Amino acid sequence: MPNIAETLLEASEILRENGVAEPRREAASLLAFALGVDKIFLISHDDYALSGAEKTKFAGFLKRRARGEPFQYIAGKQEFYRLDFLVTPNVLIPRPETELIVENAVEILSGTKNPRFCEIGTGSGCISVSILHELKTATAIGLDISPEALAVTRKNADAHVVSSRLQTKVSDVFSALENPETFDLIVSNPPYVPFEHVATLQKEVRDFEPHTALTDGADGLSIVQKIIRDSPLYLNPGGFLLMEIGFDQARKVSVMFDLEKWLMLEILPDLQGIPRMVKARLKIRA
């Protein structure tokens, strides 16, 4: 049977031939997951010979990754805001830039007694669950058009012991809410990729992540516009909207806000300096 060093060398070459970025790192991640060890073990025990069962298991993972399937779907998890989240092909894989929403949400709600917020498009639940994990008196409602995505949300809420404070509903944006229901904060990472750009995405994204969570099937702004238009109906006076947007959408999104209703509007950059998140505050009505 091949040892770890030989297996990594062969696997790296297979991934390289199939256009996988950073093939050595990816091969090591797959092998560590297949063996149930950390990457330090791979280095310190590179002469370890795989058993027949381990070789077969790894070969299956390698085949899936070579086809372009993201490692996170193979492993079934992704770290986000220092927590591990279950991910399936029914939800987007959580990205580091989306942590900006959580950071700002925690800051906004920290000064509120028993804060309540709403998330549009919960997906894996990484945003809502992370906020609830940080703020022990907060409650939330998570809305998503996909029942399958909400099932993943609930599993992650259970795993991080916040399910008693997170209600979920199948909803097209705000459609499942009662008009009198209002919140201190609305958060969302909506489908903002223009449909014409989907074909240009990395194959890991284009061929494996759910298109309904990536694009609105149009210019990428229709759902964004709906959230901006209807949020004042569901926010308490002085409440906030935090929403992720595309790298080139800041100007178009800014003009969607009615300044008769909104007191403050900021477009905040991510760690790469890309305009990434809208932060808006509703006016406090007399």
pTM of the entire predicted model: 0.94
| pLDDT value of residue 199 | 95
Query: Does an H or E element contain 171, and which?
Result: none
Q: Distance between CA atoms of 113 and 223, rounded to whole angstroms?
A: 31
**% of the chain with per-residue pLDDT over 90:** 95
The topology (CATH level 3) of 4-67 is: Helicase, Ruva Protein; domain 3 (1.10.8)
CB burial readout 181-214, b (16+ within 10 A) else e: ebbbbbbbbbbbbbeeeeeeeeebbbebbbebbb
**Which amino acid, one-letter code, is at 156?**
N
pLDDT tops 60 at residue 250: yes
Could you tell me the pLDDT band of residue 286, with boundaries at 50, 70 and 90? very low
**Which amino acid, one-letter code, is at 215?**
T
Query: In this structure, what are the phi and psi dihedrals at residue 20, rounded to the nearest 5 degrees?
Result: -80, 130
DSSP 49: B
| pLDDT value of residue 96 | 94
Could you tell me the pLDDT band of residue 115, with boundaries at 50, 70 and 90? very high
| pLDDT value of residue 224 | 97
Query: In this structure, what are the phi and psi dihedrals at residue 81, rounded to the nearest 5 degrees?
Result: 50, 45
Domain boundaries, the chain: 4-67, 77-282
| pLDDT value of residue 111 | 86
- The per-residue pLDDT of the chain, averaged, comes to 95
Write down the H helix ranges in the chain. 4-17, 23-35, 39-44, 52-66, 71-75, 99-109, 126-134, 147-159, 203-206, 211-214, 222-234, 250-254
Tokens representing residue 126 in the block: 């990484």
Tens-digit pLDDT profile for residues 14-35: 999 999 999 999 999 999 999 9
Q: Distance between CA atoms of 44 and 194, rounded to whole angstroms?
A: 46
| pLDDT value of residue 122 | 97
Q: At a CB cut-off of 8 Å and minimum separation 6, what does 134 contact? A: 102, 106
Most confident of 93-107, 174-188, 271-285: 93-107
Tens-digit pLDDT profile for residues 191-206: 999 999 999 999 999 9
pLDDT tops 80 at residue 84: yes
Tens-digit pLDDT profile for residues 130-170: 999 999 999 999 999 999 999 999 999 999 999 999 999 99
**% of the chain with per-residue pLDDT over 70:** 99
Q: Distance between CA atoms of 27 and 16, rounded to whole angstroms?
A: 10
| pLDDT value of residue 237 | 94
CATH code for the domain defined by 77-282: 3.40.50.150
pLDDT tops 90 at residue 264: no
- Number of other residues whose CB lies within 10 A of the CB of residue 122: 32
Are 191 and 214 in contact, with CB atoms under 8 Å apart?
A: yes
Tokens representing residue 99 in the block: 């942590």
